[in-house]
């Protein structure tokens, strides 16, 4: 458009450019993170060295890479869920962990773990289904409690989320106390989150969920844009609000459920990432959503690298790292945004 | 009047619970190219009537016809291409640019994921020019003043390229200059063929700009017609429950409706009951 102010709206060129740049950054982060660990490895030897007794390659492929890829996928999924929830609730303070959705998923996963055990394909599916159902239930509860006369009240839903989250935490503690075999997983796994894995099956399954979820959400990104204007405004611009909302609810529950069932409850990714991404590239959901997936992947990967590399041989849970970043960030956002948002 | 020449017709519409209705048996029509004002006291159902007209709410009884077809017969996108809505106030949670905001008006013309084409950008640009807001295109909507923001929201509605505009007190938060500019613009748009319906609090604005007025009282139509037919002392006193002063403005030729303080109302009443006793005019 000749004469139009540049960068005042999303063009195909900008869309591609931003996503390519973020993808390159992610690739660099993946390589960098894979080299960090208690055992120093040489990338050159791991890739080009002989197959026999190649310890570097073994460490890279068996230990580091699955964990790095899981961080990428979980980070992307949590960021996508947070970004979506923020459109749905019209509030930049929404985050799946903060709203108790991760907690709900944690309870659901823990219950299924008690009933179905672990180790078999069926039990993995059962845990995932439990996490999905728990996330969906928590989402419904928070949405219900947070609305007064059908209108979302920002403080109400934040408080409802905090309570749901605390309640879910208590339920997990209780389950942990009554079921001794559950201790095999360790309660810290659920409460603080860890990306420790050596299973490419887990990585592949997570990739499928992320891909399906994000592609599903992408179809609604135009509707999300308009939904930030409120339900009435969106409806008058031709959006089927209840259908969009239902999709957003279900898909973000699926993403959170999948993330929690593979990595426990990792908080604040869905809060920090959409905000920072929005600052960098603007609020248009068509670009914001895929960009937040990439930024979320980079963020969680860096957080996990810090978690396993910053304190020598002692590893701290990745959820601790994200919470240490996320807590102050939330306060900052609350002070800045709390007075605005939904009326 | 035949309904086929009406841009919009409301027929016997009721809304809300039967025990506590918000609207009762409301009927009115908007001719093509007409500027219709919906007036009435707080809580008389004005905004609800507007939401029924836009198809956002569905009536409990009766029907709303747009171009002779029941509003429920249209898809949401079809309605979005016919009717642009300007709310009283728009709460924006995220810092979209003005251009992005106006391009949202193209939503009913687009499907699924994708980017706006040249036609969409041209429409948005025209709309911004029309509302004198093109120089704001790159600004974040969150940084605009109330008057600027309302112009942008109107531009968004115009970018829909609708045949009808529904507005809910579009100048509620604007000072007198910006309010008059807004209504002058609406009149220009009307001259270009748009049908316009606006909820109005300001009876003087209603008298000055509207072809037809619908006066609502407790969810029912009390009076409809031209400003001179509707804005009479008797009608307004009965519906609003306070005496007002109605006079013809020499300059505009439109009616002026002015409030009277309690002291004036009491003096008026005293004078009135001296002339005619006992007074019955002021009772409902």
For residues A229 and A134, the model is more confident at: A134
Instruction: Mutation target for A interface from B94, B102, B113, B124: give the one with most A CBs within 10 A.
Output: B94
Q: Give the model confidence (pLDDT) of A291-324 as tens digits.
A: 999 999 999 999 999 998 877 778 888 988 998 9
Band (pLDDT 50/70/90 cuts) for residue A23 is very high
pLDDT above 70 (res A177):
yes
Q: For residues A120 and A326, give the distance between their C-alpha atoms in angstroms, rounded to a whole number.
A: 35
Contact of A157 with A89, CB cutoff 8 Å: yes
**3-state secondary structure at position A229:** coil
Q: Is some CB atom of chain B closer than 8 A to the CB atom of A82?
A: no
**3-state secondary structure at position B93:** coil
Q: Chain B: nearest CA to A332, how far in angstroms?
A: 17
Q: pTM for this one?
A: 0.88
Band (pLDDT 50/70/90 cuts) for residue A50 is confident
What's the pLDDT at A189?
A: 66
Residues B203-232 have a mean pLDDT of 96
pLDDT above 60 (res B283):
no
In degrees rounded to 5, what are phi and psi of residue B67? Answer: 50, 40
Q: Where are the beta strands (DSSP E) in B6-93?
A: 6-16, 21-31, 35-39, 61-66, 69-70, 83-86
For residues A36 and B119, the model is more confident at: B119
Residue A286: closest CA among chain B residues belongs to which residue? B113
Q: Strands B83-86 and B69-70, how do they pair? A: unpaired
Q: Give the model confidence (pLDDT) of A206-220 as tens digits.
A: 999 999 999 999 999
Q: Give the model confidence (pLDDT) of B179-193 as tens digits.
A: 999 999 999 999 999
B residues 2-31 near A, CB within 8 Å?
A: none
Q: Chain B: nearest CA to A207, how far in angstroms?
A: 22
Q: Give the model confidence (pLDDT) of B225-252 as tens digits.
A: 999 999 999 999 999 998 889 999 999 9
What's the pLDDT at B121?
A: 95
Q: Give the model confidence (pLDDT) of A67-124 as tens digits.
A: 999 999 999 999 999 999 999 888 888 889 888 999 999 999 888 888 877 677 788 8
Q: For residues A97 and A102, give the distance between their C-alpha atoms in angstroms, rounded to a whole number.
A: 5
What's the pLDDT at A187?
A: 61
Which are the contacts of B94, defined by CB distance < 8 A and separation ≥ 6? Answer: A92, A228, A278, A283, B142
Which are the contacts of B178, defined by CB distance < 8 A and separation ≥ 6? Answer: B146, B147, B150, B171
A residues 230-249 near B, CB within 8 Å?
A: 230, 232-233, 235-240
A residues 210-229 near B, CB within 8 Å?
A: 218-219, 221-222, 225-226, 228-229
């Amino acid at each position: 458009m000749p004469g139009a102010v540049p960068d005042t709206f999303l063009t195909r060129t900008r869309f591609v450019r931003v996503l390519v740049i973020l993808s390159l950054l992610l690739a660099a982060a993946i390589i960098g993170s894979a080299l960090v660990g208690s055992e120093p490895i040489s990338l050159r030897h791991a890739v080009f060295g002989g197959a026999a007794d190649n310890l570097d390659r073994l460490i890279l492929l068996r230990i580091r890479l699955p964990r790095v890829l899981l961080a990428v996928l979980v980070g992307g999924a949590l960021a996508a869920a947070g970004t979506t929830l923020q459109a749905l609730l019209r509030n930049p303070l929404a985050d799946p962990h903060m709203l108790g959705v991760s907690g709900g998923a944690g309870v659901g996963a823990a219950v299924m773990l008690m009933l179905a055990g672990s180790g078999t394909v069926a039990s993995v599916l059962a845990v995932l289904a439990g996490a999905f159902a728990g996330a969906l239930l928590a989402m419904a509860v928070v949405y219900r409690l947070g609305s007064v006369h059908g209108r979302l009240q920002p403080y109400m839903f934040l408080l409802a989320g905090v309570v749901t989250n605390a309640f879910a935490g208590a339920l997990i503690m209780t389950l942990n106390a009554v079921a001794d075999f559950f201790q095999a997983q360790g309660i810290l796994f659920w409460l603080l989150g860890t990306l420790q894995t050596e299973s490419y099956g887990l990585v592949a399954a997570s990739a499928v969920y992320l891909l399906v979820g994000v592609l599903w959400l992408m179809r609604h990104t135009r509707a999300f844009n308009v939904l930030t204007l409120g339900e009435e405004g969106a409806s008058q611009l031709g959006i089927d609000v209840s259908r969009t909302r239902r999709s957003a609810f279900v898909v973000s529950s699926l993403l959170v459920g999948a993330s929690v069932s593979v990595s426990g409850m990792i908080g604040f990714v869905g809060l920090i990432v959409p905000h920072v991404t929005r600052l960098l590239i603007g609020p248009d959901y068509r670009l914001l959503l895929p960009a937040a997936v990439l930024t979320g992947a980079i963020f969680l990967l860096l957080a996990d690298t810090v978690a396993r590399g910053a304190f020598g041989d002692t590893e701290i849970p990745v959820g601790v790292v994200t919470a240490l970043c996320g807590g102050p960030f939330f306060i900052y956002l609350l002070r800045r945004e709390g007075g605005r948002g939904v009326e | 009047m035949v309904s086929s020449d009406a841009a919009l017709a409301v027929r016997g519409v009721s809304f809300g619970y039967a025990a506590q209705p918000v609207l009762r048996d409301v009927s009115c029509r908007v001719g093509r190219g007409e500027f219709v004002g919906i007036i009435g006291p707080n809580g008389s159902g004005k905004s609800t009537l507007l939401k029924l007209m836009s198809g956002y709410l569905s009536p409990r009884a009766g029907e709303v016809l747009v171009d002779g077809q029941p509003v429920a017969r249209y898809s949401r996108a079809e309605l979005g291409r016919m009717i642009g809505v300007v709310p009283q106030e728009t709460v924006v949670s995220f810092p979209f640019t003005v251009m992005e905001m106006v391009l949202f008006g193209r939503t009913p013309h687009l499907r699924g994921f994708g980017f706006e084409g040249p036609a969409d950008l041209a429409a948005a640009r025209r709309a911004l020019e029309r509302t004198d807001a093109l120089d704001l295109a790159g600004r974040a909507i969150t940084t605009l003043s109330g008057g600027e923001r309302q112009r942008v929201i109107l531009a968004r509605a115009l970018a829909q390229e609708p045949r009808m505009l529904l507005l809910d007190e579009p100048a509620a938060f604007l000072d007198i200059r910006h309010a008059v500019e807004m209504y002058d613009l609406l009149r220009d748009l009307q001259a270009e063929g748009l049908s316009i319906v606006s909820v109005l609090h300001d009876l003087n604005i209603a008298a000055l700009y509207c072809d037809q007025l619908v006066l609502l009282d407790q969810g029912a139509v009390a009076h409809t017609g031209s400003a001179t037919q509707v804005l009479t002392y008797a009608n307004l006193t009965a519906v609003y429950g306070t005496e007002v002063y109605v006079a013809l403005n020499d300059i505009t030729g439109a009616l002026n409706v002015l409030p009277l303080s309690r002291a004036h109302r009491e003096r008026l009443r005293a004078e009135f009951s001296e002339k005619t006793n006992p007074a019955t005019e002021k009772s409902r």
